[in-house]
């Protein structure tokens, strides 16, 4: 009887310790935002100040009039300067993101946002190409000559079928970057040329570049690539490597 009581006490202590450990480890994927928000039930219209991509969420630093705060939404492509509205959410205090190795003093987990751009899920259900629904990137007034052995962006778009599943060299000006999406950095480049009305090439890479850089990438061209979640492309350079000048 004494052994039995001791065993039960040990098991109880272990269970209590296990529960305490789980409470001390916030799990991002288990957060379920309610319909009401701690910031109020009315819709909030905000402007994106900063974008951080993680494995399952997009973290956004946003500004509403004179207030600046962080929200987290289901992972999707967002850009600085974008305006959207939301209502509902869950306020989390001292939330630790293990993916980012960062603790947010206060962050709101938001289930739905709305703006000029339909959400990826809505676009896909409607049969639209979600890539074409994204805001267009303006064409830059630049002129960059192809590197030796390379091709221009205009040549690629004009004759995309002939480059399908082939490795090419392309030099261009970095116009936009989305980091850490589906394990890659998504880089947009232009060289001043165009083909079939298109002038901005999207590249997936592990390499780090900055907006404004003049870079040369080597990678495989794939056509009609649809990753789901709003990432569909007529022409894409995949797993590209930056080449030394």
12-44: buried (b, 16+ CB within 10 Å) or exposed (e) per residue?
eeeeeeeeeeeeeeeebeebebeeebebeeeeb
Mean pLDDT of the chain: 77
For the cut 50, the answer to whether the pLDDT of residue 37 exceeds it is: no
Token look-up 């061209």 returns 221
Q: How far apart are CA 130 and CA 233, in angstroms?
A: 9
Among 203, 198, 216, 217, CA closest to 157 = 198
Residues 7-19 have a mean pLDDT of 45
CA within 13 Å, CB half, 184: 15
Q: What is the CATH number of domain 28-120?
A: 2.40.50.140
Residues 42-62 have a mean pLDDT of 87
Domain locations in the chain as residue ranges:
28-120, 141-242
pTM: 0.50
pLDDT for 231 equals 63
pLDDT digits (tens, 9 = 90+) for 74-100: 888 888 888 888 887 788 888 888 888
pLDDT for 183 equals 76
| 211, burial (CB in 10 Å: exposed 0-12, middle 13-18, buried 19+) | exposed
Tell the CATH superfamily of the 141-242 domain: Nucleic acid-binding proteins (2.40.50.140)
Q: Cα–Cα–Cα angle for 59, 175, 153, nearest 5°?
A: 130
Q: Which of 57-71, 124-138, 141-155, 183-197 shows the lowest mean pLDDT across its residues?
A: 124-138
Q: Which of 10-24, 28-42, 68-82 has the highest mean pLDDT?
A: 68-82
Structure-block tokens of residue 204: 């997936």
């Amino acid at each position: 009887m004494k052994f039995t009581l001791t065993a039960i006490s040990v098991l109880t202590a272990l269970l209590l310790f296990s529960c305490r450990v789980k409470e001390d480890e916030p799990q991002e994927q288990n957060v379920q935002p309610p319909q009401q928000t701690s910031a109020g039930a009315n819709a909030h219209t905000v402007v994106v100040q900063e974008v951080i991509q993680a494995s399952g969420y997009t973290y956004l630093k946003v500004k509403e009039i004179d207030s600046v705060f962080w929200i987290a939404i289901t992972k999707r492509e967002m850009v600085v300067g974008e305006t959207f509205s939301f209502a509902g959410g869950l306020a989390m205090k001292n939330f630790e993101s293990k993916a980012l190795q960062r603790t947010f003093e206060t962050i709101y987990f938001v289930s739905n946002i709305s703006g000029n751009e339909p959400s990826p899920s809505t676009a896909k259900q409607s049969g639209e190409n979600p890539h074409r629904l994204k805001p267009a990137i303006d064409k830059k007034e630049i002129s960059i000559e192809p590197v030796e052995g390379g091709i221009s962006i205009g040549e690629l778009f004009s004759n995309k079928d002939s480059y399908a599943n082939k490795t090419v060299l392309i030099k261009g000006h970095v116009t936009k970057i989305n980091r850490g999406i589906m394990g890659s950095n998504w880089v947009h480049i232009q060289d001043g040329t165009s083909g079939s009305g298109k002038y901005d090439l999207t590249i997936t890479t592990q390499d780090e570049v900055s907006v404004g850089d003049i870079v040369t990438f080597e990678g495989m061209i794939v056509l009609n690539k649809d990753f789901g979640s709003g990432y569909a492309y007529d022409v894409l350079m995949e797993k590209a490597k930056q080449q030394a000048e």
